[in-house]
């Protein structure tokens, strides 16, 4: 069996499982946020009075924090009351950051575990060797009540990556290149298993970016076997009592993809699909109104360092607004200590509190009609960041920073 099959077999109490088989799985951690908690709570109240285990539920306020309208305030009020009534202690509602960054930082993600979240980018946790996937509020309500859910065992695509990423080329460029190859719907309900020397040598931040965007080609989950960097990260957080599962050498995969990255250049996903990807050299010069660095994809410290490297001593173009949102309070602290925030402020960037920010077009940095944004986020669908007649390009933090300076899509290697 491969790693995904082994985790699901273990969680269902089976010796082995096979693609297409439907199992009942025990959940190790369930997560919802300020946007998905109230619908989950409403359904939960129709089927149960007490959650199955308050210590295995985490709730994070990140999508609209602080509340930006009456509806958001009501959602958060309902959730606070539920948390208090149910005795849920893993509650993060004071600007701790984006759920997919906060949970790993708090040591809540373990290799070999089953994690479900009422958010599609829950697949991020596959970077730690966990089976992690998103689900809707009705399914999450059943998990809250029973601690179990059902899965159909997915077929797995093996994604092997070798070579070394060049300067200003990141894991974001790699995953965009992979998605452009597979297609937006090319891996629907498949597991994407990433391996190869590039993945083995990748830091935790890069691995999280890769798994975060697995869902953008329809995948059920993205996953990697923990490497040395991952194990060191968990050790520093005193995370223990977990089992590392590895794919057998004779594992079966529905498809095998191979990528070599030595000559890869920065990639751009053009409107309005994540698989509409081109090298930055072919998109250079496209005008922009806004640039955004942040999100659960690229709001980590390494991303901010890369952006600061480009922005240091330079000014944002007078016709562009650059918004920077650290993915967590911890990252914000570290960025302050390293002087990154000073660099951003001196460049005329706008710094916002940790959270999802402009990514979903509901809080800060909403786009108006006809406006164009280059963003480090994970989706560029019609209306994703605001008006349906706005446009979003996706890129790595260095490209976004360079573009903010130039006032148009720009290869950072040209600055």
The CATH code belonging to domain 270-414 is: 3.30.499.10
Model confidence at 415, pLDDT cuts 50, 70, 90, reads confident
Cα 331 to Cα 138: distance, rounded to the nearest angstrom:
33
Token pair for 97: 């950051």
Question: ∠ at Cα 394 (272, 355), nearest 5°?
Answer: 110
Which of the following CATH numbers is that of domain 3-259: 3.40.50.300, 3.40.50.620, 3.90.1150.10, 3.30.499.10? Answer: 3.30.499.10
pLDDT tens readout for residues 322-367: 999 999 999 999 999 999 999 999 999 999 999 998 988 888 899 9
Q: State the average pLDDT over residues 61-77.
A: 92
- pLDDT for the residue numbered 244: 94
Report the distance separating Cα 389 and Cα 21, nearest Å.
43
pTM: 0.92
Q: Where are the beta strands (DSSP E) in 336-385?
A: 350-351, 372-375
pLDDT at position 268 is 97
Cα distance between residue 164 and residue 317, in whole Å: 32
CATH 3.30.499.10 residue spans of the chain: 3-259, 270-414
Tens digit of pLDDT for each residue in 10-24? 999 999 999 999 999
H-assigned helices in 225-324 = 228-236, 295-298, 301-311
């Amino acid at each position: 069996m491969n790693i995904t099959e082994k985790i699901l077999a273990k969680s269902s109490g089976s010796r082995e499982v096979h693609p297409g088989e439907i199992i009942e799985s025990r959940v190790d951690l369930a997560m919802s946020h300020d946007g998905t908690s109230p619908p989950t709570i409403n359904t939960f109240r129709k089927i149960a009075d007490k959650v199955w285990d308050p210590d295995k539920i985490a709730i994070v306020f990140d999508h609209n924090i602080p509340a930006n309208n009456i509806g958001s305030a009501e959602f958060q009020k309902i959730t606070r009351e539920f948390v208090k009534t149910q005795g849920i202690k893993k509650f993060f509602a004071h600007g701790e950051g984006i759920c997919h960054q906060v949970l790993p930082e708090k040591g809540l993600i373990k290799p070999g575990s089953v994690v479900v979240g009422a958010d599609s980018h829950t697949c991020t946790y596959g970077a730690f060797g966990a089976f992690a996937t998103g689900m809707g509020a009705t399914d999450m309500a059943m998990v809250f009540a029973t601690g179990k859910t059902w899965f159909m065992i997915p077929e797995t695509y093996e994604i092997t990556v070798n070579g070394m990423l060049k300067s200003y080329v990141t894991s974001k460029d790699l995953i965009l290149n992979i998605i452009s190859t597979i297609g937006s719907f090319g891996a629907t309900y498949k597991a994407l298993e990433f391996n190869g020397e590039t993945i083995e040598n990748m830091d935790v931040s890069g691995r999280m970016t890769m798994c975060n965007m697995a869902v953008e080609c329809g995948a059920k989950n993205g996953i990697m076997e923990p490497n040395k960097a991952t194990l060191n990260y968990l050790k520093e957080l005193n995370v223990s009592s977990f089992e590392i599962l590895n794919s057998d050498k004779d594992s079966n995969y529905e498809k095998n993809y191979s990528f070599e990255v030595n000559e890869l250049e920065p990639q751009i996903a053009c409107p309005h699909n994540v698989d509409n990807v081109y090298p930055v050299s072919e998109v250079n010069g496209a005008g922009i109104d806004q640039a955004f660095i942040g999100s659960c994809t690229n709001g980590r410290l390494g991303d901010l360092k890369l952006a600061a490297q480009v922005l240091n001593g330079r000014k944002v173009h007078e016709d562009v607004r650059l918004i920077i949102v650290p993915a967590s309070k911890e990252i914000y602290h570290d960025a302050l200590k390293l002087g990154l925030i000073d660099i951003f402020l001196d460049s005329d960037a706008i710094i916002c509190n940790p959270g999802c920010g402009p990514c979903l077009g509901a809080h800060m940095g909403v786009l108006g009609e006809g406006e164009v944004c280059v963003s480090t986020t994970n989706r560029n669908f019609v209306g994703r960041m605001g008006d349906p007649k706005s446009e979003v390009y996706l890129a790595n933090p260095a490209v976004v920073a360079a573009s903010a300076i130039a006032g148009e899509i720009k290869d950072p290697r040209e600055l």
